[in-house]
A and B are shown apart, each in its own frame.
Chain A
Amino acid sequence: MRVIAGPAHGRRLDLGDGDLVLGRDPDGDNPLSVDVEISRRHAQIVRKGEALVIEDLGSLNGTFVNGERLSTRQVLRRGDEVRVGRSVLTLEGGLQRTVVRERPRAQPRPRVPPPARKERDNGIEVRQLVREFGDTRVVDGVDLIVEPGSIQGFLGPNGAGKSTTVHMLTTLLPPTSGTAVIAGYDIVRQSEQVRASLGVALQEAALDPIMNAWEHMRLQTALQGVPREQREPRARSLIERVGLIDAADRRVETYSGGMKRRLDLALSLVHDPSVLFLDEPTTGLDPKSRSDLWEEVRRLSRDEGVTVFLTTQYLEEADLLADQVAIIDRGKLVAEGTPSQLKSEIGRPTVDAVPADDADRGAIAAVLARFGERSPAAHKGVAVRLTRGAPDLADVVRALDGEGLRVSELNLHAPTLDDVFLMKTGRSLEERPDETAADGEKAPPGEVQASDGQGPGRRSRRPRARR
């Protein structure tokens, strides 16, 4: 395969014996990488016996064979023209030779070439990021490196500084000091380039209630500089991808929370960003909508190599989605690593006992205390983190039985990210919003108080002091 014209002029593509993925690969030597309108995994040509079969891999701009948009797999024949982005691939010389040439059109090239990038990647590097509001330091010296193409979970309770950090990283708020490099661009000195590289879905889906999805898409594609002829197909592709095609003509004011989030996500992707910021994207969503959004985020990272920076206060979300997790509390990073690394720091499971008779609570707590240190307890329960781990469980049962104490429930819990947070800060992650102070402010003294799990209905809701 040889490229005879256009962005990849003069280069060769070897089909070889295997399959060929057409797409951008900034780290590789794929000639198509220079075509910014091609998705990272755009289309695939597969050898089936003597035939070559092409399929679209969910690209943003679509794959066209002889002018027809590809919706299913299609056998390629000699002379067929395959258009991906600004390039046309023409199959010549049988199965072994494919020539790529530029699609002729009167589209202006970008007027201003991107300024020199420090790195050819789409990672995030945060250095000593600080934001103060008056005397309050909301973000306090955050350092973070996010690998290109990974999903970074940014976890913390309400008011920890998550959204402030996101606002700085997305250039909506200037840092008081420190800086960050997003996709090779400095957020302070190259904010325009940063914005061009990233997609953002903020905490509350910022949509116009009296506009429908198409109108939002038209506005967003125009403002993001999507070439005119690509706006409609791109809008359709994204609306289909997020499952809103049947509702696209309806005003947003009729949408559910999940639909708004999905539209918000689609809008953030119109310009094929290399970095995606999602600020608590699933807050308030039903489980199905949440699961759908997670799947889309996974797909973006896995299939398109998009770096995802995901803030959340849901432990499960960070645990399931994130390759790396950073935990922030009161503006400072308190832990960083993969979910399993962080949980392995805790190492030991927790046993949680719910007294059959509430009068036995104190006695049960005393027995459990012999086996480990106190831990956040389930509703009406008493919990300890077992010193020797799961093998202690049998001894716990025997000890309770020996003391004549009856329990209605006895559960063994593996370590969670909440345990990690508790270990690092002495408080639980899952605070009640009304007990949380504003960004960077200390919670009123009366609200950060010791709890031994004796209060009813307080499991993982009230901030707890380290025990």
Chain B
Amino acid sequence: MSSSSLAEQTAAIARRSLLRTLRSIGIIGPIIVFPLFFLALNSAALKRVVNIPHFPTKSYVTFALASTFVLAGMTTVSISGGAIAEDIRTRFLDRLRLTRLRSVALVLGYLAGAAVIAGLAALLYIGVALIAGANIKTGVAGALVVVLLAVLIAVTFASLGVLAALIRPEAVQAVFPLLFVALFLSSQYLPRDLIAKGWFRTVATYNPMSYFIEAPRSLLITGWDGQALALGGGLALLFTVVTVTLASARLRSRVQR
């Protein structure tokens, strides 16, 4: 019996990940809807912020929409991390490890469910935001890139969840609050150049969350901004590669303890 290819193994795990995700939609549904509440809340509470001189748009819904994608991406920590933690608990992971499955295929496969959820959620958020008066500067093409960015950012967070679960399954629960704090310390509510100079602005400048938000935000408000896209997309890709590599190594070392 020959060993199946990396792509085939990844696809097999991804199929299961999607199956689990779709069959757990009753549990996952509220997780998807949760960022919409923040969008509604922020848009209502902060709508006058657009009156600040040099604020880039007159629609706070459009401005807040970008951070909604990031918040949704953060929820995938519990989807993918929770799935692998459950597989560790039920020993299903041992079943998978006893096959000829490559570690990296396993990790990538687990991320598939998160990617699909993030894509569906992004389409939902864009639809709701458009109904609420948001507009997308870059049009349909930009909206598609926004969805792709949302998926990439979600995969980044999901891989963090997988890594946390492989280090210690209980750690998955701790990741989301930490990311939530990081989100607040970013350019979520205001463009960085409008944040008063001081520690907050410094933190926001060095906080990758800011760039995850600013990449889709640029497509929604500014237009095609190569630098914002490269920073946001590049950082997300870099983080994903690092966490997937670490998670794969961790998975291999699970049997070497």
B92: which of A109, A192, A200, A208 is its contact (CB, 8 Å)? A208
- Residues 14-28 (chain B) with a chain A CB within 8 angstroms: 15-16, 19-20, 23-24
Q: Chain B contacts of A112 at CB under 8 A?
A: 3
Q: Chain B contacts of A51 at CB under 8 A?
A: none
Given the complex of chains A and B, what is the CA–CA distance between A210 and B1 in angstroms?
28
CB of B255 within 8 A of CB of A172, answer yes
Looking at A89-97, A212-220, A393-401, the stretch in contact with chain B turns out to be: A212-220
CB of A196 within 8 A of CB of B1, answer yes
Q: Chain B contacts of A211 at CB under 8 A?
A: 16, 19-20
Q: A174-B255, A202-B91, A267-B95 are in contact. Are A111 and B2 (CB under 8 A)?
A: yes
B188: interface (CB < 8 Å):
no
B227: interface (CB < 8 Å):
no
Given the complex of chains A and B, what is the CA–CA distance between A208 and B15 in angstroms?
13
Given the complex of chains A and B, what is the CA–CA distance between A328 and B192 in angstroms?
67
Kindly report which residue of chain B lies nearest to residue A107, judged by CB atoms.
Answer: B2
B9: which of A110, A173, A192, A223 is its contact (CB, 8 Å)? A223
A362: interface (CB < 8 Å):
no
CB of A206 within 8 A of CB of B97, answer no
- Residues 217-257 (chain B) with a chain A CB within 8 angstroms: 255-257
Q: How large is the interface on B (under 10, 10 to 19, 20 to 34, 35 or more residues)?
A: 20 to 34
A222: which of B8, B24, B90 is its contact (CB, 8 Å)? B8
Given the complex of chains A and B, what is the CA–CA distance between A109 and B15 in angstroms?
26
B100: interface (CB < 8 Å):
yes
- Residues 149-180 (chain A) with a chain B CB within 8 angstroms: 170-174
- Residues 79-118 (chain B) with a chain A CB within 8 angstroms: 90-92, 94-101
Q: A215-B19, A219-B12, A223-B99 are in contact. Are A110 and B2 (CB under 8 A)?
A: yes
Q: A111-B2, A208-B20 are in contact. Are A225 and B100 (CB under 8 A)?
A: yes
- Residues 165-207 (chain A) with a chain B CB within 8 angstroms: 170-174, 191-192, 195-196, 198, 200, 202, 204, 206-207
Min CB distance B201 to A, Å, is 47
Min CB distance A256 to B, Å, is 17
A195: which of B11, B98, B257 is its contact (CB, 8 Å)? B98
Given the complex of chains A and B, what is the CA–CA distance between A257 and B97 in angstroms?
23
CB of A215 within 8 A of CB of B94, answer no
CB of B20 within 8 A of CB of A223, answer no
Q: Chain B contacts of A220 at CB under 8 A?
A: 95, 99
B202: interface (CB < 8 Å):
no
CB of B20 within 8 A of CB of A225, answer no
CB of B92 within 8 A of CB of A223, answer no
B51: interface (CB < 8 Å):
no
Kindly report which residue of chain B lies nearest to residue A220, judged by CB atoms.
Answer: B99
B256: which of A174, A192, A223 is its contact (CB, 8 Å)? A174
Given the complex of chains A and B, what is the CA–CA distance between A48 and B247 in angstroms?
61
CB of B8 within 8 A of CB of A206, answer no
A285: interface (CB < 8 Å):
no
Q: Chain A contacts of B98 at CB under 8 A?
A: 170-172, 195, 198, 200
Min CB distance B128 to A, Å, is 29
CB of A204 within 8 A of CB of B91, answer yes
CB of B255 within 8 A of CB of A171, answer yes
Given the complex of chains A and B, what is the CA–CA distance between A223 and B5 in angstroms?
9
Given the complex of chains A and B, what is the CA–CA distance between A404 and B199 in angstroms?
97
A223: which of B2, B19, B23, B101 is its contact (CB, 8 Å)? B101
Prevailing SS type, chain A contact patch? loop
A109: which of B2, B23, B94 is its contact (CB, 8 Å)? B2
Q: How large is the interface on A (under 10, 10 to 19, 20 to 34, 35 or more residues)?
A: 35 or more
- Residues 337-374 (chain A) with a chain B CB within 8 angstroms: none
- Residues 211-243 (chain A) with a chain B CB within 8 angstroms: 211, 215, 218-220, 222-227
A108: interface (CB < 8 Å):
yes
A140: interface (CB < 8 Å):
no
Q: Chain B contacts of A191 at CB under 8 A?
A: 255
A304: interface (CB < 8 Å):
no
A210: which of B2, B8, B23, B257 is its contact (CB, 8 Å)? B23
Q: Chain A contacts of B4 at CB under 8 A?
A: 222-225
CB of A222 within 8 A of CB of B12, answer yes
Min CB distance A139 to B, Å, is 15
Given the complex of chains A and B, what is the CA–CA distance between A206 and B13 in angstroms?
16
Q: A211-B16, A218-B12, A220-B99 are in contact. Are A225 and B1 (CB under 8 A)?
A: yes
CB of B16 within 8 A of CB of A208, answer yes
CB of B1 within 8 A of CB of A110, answer yes
Given the complex of chains A and B, what is the CA–CA distance between A200 and B96 in angstroms?
11
Kindly report which residue of chain B lies nearest to residue A224, judged by CB atoms.
Answer: B99
A271: interface (CB < 8 Å):
yes
CB of B1 within 8 A of CB of A36, answer yes
Q: Chain B contacts of A174 at CB under 8 A?
A: 255-257
Kindly report which residue of chain B lies nearest to residue A207, judged by CB atoms.
Answer: B92
Given the complex of chains A and B, what is the CA–CA distance between A111 and B97 in angstroms?
21
Q: Chain A contacts of B95 at CB under 8 A?
A: 202, 206-207, 220, 267
CB of B1 within 8 A of CB of A206, answer no
Given the complex of chains A and B, what is the CA–CA distance between A430 and B166 in angstroms?
36
Kindly report which residue of chain B lies nearest to residue A108, judged by CB atoms.
Answer: B2
Q: Chain B contacts of A218 at CB under 8 A?
A: 12, 15
A56: interface (CB < 8 Å):
no
Given the complex of chains A and B, what is the CA–CA distance between A111 and B92 in angstroms?
28
Q: Chain A contacts of B9 at CB under 8 A?
A: 222-223
17 intermolecular pairs with C-beta atoms under 8 Å apart? A108-B2, A109-B2, A112-B3, A172-B255, A196-B1, A196-B100, A206-B94, A208-B16, A210-B24, A219-B13, A222-B9, A222-B12, A223-B4, A223-B9, A223-B96, A224-B100, A225-B2
Give me the 9 closest cross-chain CB pairs, A-B, nearest first.
A222-B12, A223-B99, A110-B2, A206-B91, A206-B95, A225-B4, A225-B3, A206-B92, A225-B1
Beyond contacts A171-B98, A171-B255: 20 other A-B pairs, Cβ-Cβ < 8 A, are A110-B2, A111-B2, A173-B255, A174-B255, A174-B257, A195-B98, A206-B92, A206-B95, A207-B90, A207-B92, A208-B20, A208-B92, A210-B20, A211-B19, A218-B12, A218-B15, A220-B95, A222-B8, A223-B99, A223-B101
